[in-house]
């Protein structure tokens, strides 16, 4: 089971896009307060389109509550990570995997990371930018894990336009 954890997300459009990714991949989303928006926000709904109702998500008051209620393999995406995101094995479909992402402006606090240095990673980029967009990073990580798991329970063809090429 793949889980995405957003620590204090600030931008509703990013969270809406992430909710859409989670809805389309059976990924569970965990939101850690404070949130920089309301979950009823029109921007959140616009980004997630009509798919938010298919996203399973939980909201926590703080990181301590999240860790108390969840167990599994925790991976932290951070600019302080020195291992590429592809260095880890996510192939066990019976294992609960949690990809933890920090807030857009400052990331995950060092106080949280210090106990998990062996699980800190980054998505490599060149020196032109500090980091990729949060929703892009989430999609990269979710699909890397799904690729390693051979995309369990996901469609490998499009049933919505199955006859498109035949017409």
CATH T-level assignment (fold) for domain 2-161? Alpha/beta knot (3.40.1280)
Higher confidence at residue 134 or residue 79? Answer: 134
Q: CA 131, CA 20: separation in Å to the nearest integer?
A: 21
Q: For position 65, what pLDDT does the model report?
A: 98
Strand partners, 73: 97
108-129 burial: b if 16+ Cβ within 10 Å, else e: beeebbeeeeebbbbbeeeeee
State yes or no: pLDDT of 40 exceeds 80. Answer: no
Q: Is 50 left (phi over 0), alpha (psi -120 to 50) or beta?
A: alpha
In tens, the pLDDT along 86-131 reads: 999 999 999 999 999 999 999 999 999 999 999 999 999 998 988 8
Work out the angle between the directed axes of helices 12-25 and 134-148 (0-180°, nearest 10).
Answer: 10
Coil, strand, or helix at residue 54? helix
Query: What is the distance between the alpha carbons of residues 3 and 39, in angstroms, rounded to a whole number?
Result: 19
Confidence of residue 58 (pLDDT cuts 50, 70, 90): very high
**Model confidence over 7-23: pLDDT tens digits?**
999 999 899 999 999 99
- DSSP letters of 95-107? S-EEEEE-BTTTB
Closest CA to 47 of 79, 14, 78: 14
pLDDT, residue 153, reads 87
Confidence tier at 76 by pLDDT (50, 70, 90): very high
Domain boundaries, the chain: 2-161
């Amino acid at each position: 089971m793949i889980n995405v954890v957003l620590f204090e997300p600030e931008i509703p459009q990013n969270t809406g896009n992430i909710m859409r990714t989670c809805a389309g991949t059976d990924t569970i989303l965990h939101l850690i307060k404070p949130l920089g928006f309301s979950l009823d926000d029109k921007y959140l709904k616009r980004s997630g389109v009509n798919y938010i109702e298919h996203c399973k998500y939980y909201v926590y008051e703080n990181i301590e509550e999240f860790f108390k209620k969840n167990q599994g393999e925790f991976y932290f995406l951070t600019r302080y990570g020195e291992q590429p995101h592809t260095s880890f094995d996510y192939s066990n479909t019976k294992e609960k995997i949690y990809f933890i992402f920090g807030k857009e402006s400052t990331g995950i606090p060092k106080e949280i990371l210090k106990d998990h240095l062996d699980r800190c990673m980054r998505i490599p980029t060149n020196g032109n930018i500090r980091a990729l967009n949060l929703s892009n990073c989430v999609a990269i990580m979710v699909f890397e894990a799904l690729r390693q798991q051979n995309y369990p329970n996901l469609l490998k063809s499009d049933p919505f336009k199955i006859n498109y090429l035949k017409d």
